[in-house]
Amino acid sequence: MKLTPTYIDGVLLALNAIPSVTAIIDAHRCYLERSWVFSALNDWRGGTAASGPYEKDARLLSPNLGHARLVLGSEPLLEHYVGLLAKRFPEKPVMLVASTLSFLAGTDLDGLARDMSARLGRPVIAVGREVTDEDWIDGWRRVEKAWFEHLSESGEVEGNVGVVGFGLHRLEQDEMSNL
């Protein structure tokens, strides 16, 4: 197991810092275990985890991206999950986050986000990837960038908090310095 924080760790940190968003990570469900351990041990108020690592009462979901979904595409399952989160959290936008596997499989998160936004009449935000060797700061920055673009398009809403916590920066040669 890698000891340095990975891309998904940065994504989970960023999602934890944005309390007014729900998310679907297009990945194996084991990512929910990471989210649950992170939330249960470090941040009990973040709300990313549910009552257990595979429970569906949290604002963060992950479909089981197995071999068949890699071949056939995960878009239909993601569409179902977006509808599920839209019903459970009607006041919160939904983020679709690409994992390394969904990036390699070519899942069309941008197209799905556009279609679901039009169908539901609410924001569905895609967080894509461009390369496979991104680290935790890249994960944080991708989520942060997608969220800030959404905020700038939607205008300010009184009483909503954009992001809780400090913005992260990269200190070269020492990736753990600001963790």
CATH number at residue 130: 3.40.50.1980
What is residue 71's predicted lDDT score, i.e. its pLDDT? 67
* 123, part of any domain: yes
* 171, part of any domain: no
Q: Which stretches of the chain are DSSP H helices?
A: 7-17, 30-42, 67-72, 75-88, 100-105, 109-120, 136-154
For tokens 């929910």, the residue is 32
* 161, part of any domain: no
The answer to pTM > 0.85 is no
**17-72 pLDDT tens trace:** 787 888 888 877 666 666 666 666 666 566 666 555 555 567 787 776 666 666 67
Domain that holds residue 32: 7-154
Q: Which helix (H) or strand (E) holds 126?
A: strand 124-127
* 1, part of any domain: no
The answer to whether 26 and 104 are in contact (CB under 8 A) is no
pLDDT tier for residue 120 given thresholds of 50, 70 and 90: very high
* CB within 8 Å of 118: residues ≥ 6 apart: none
CA pair distance 132, 43, nearest whole angstrom: 28
Count CB-CB contacts under 10 A for residue 47.
15
Angle at 61 between CA 64 and CA 74, to 5 degrees: 45
Domain count, the chain: 1
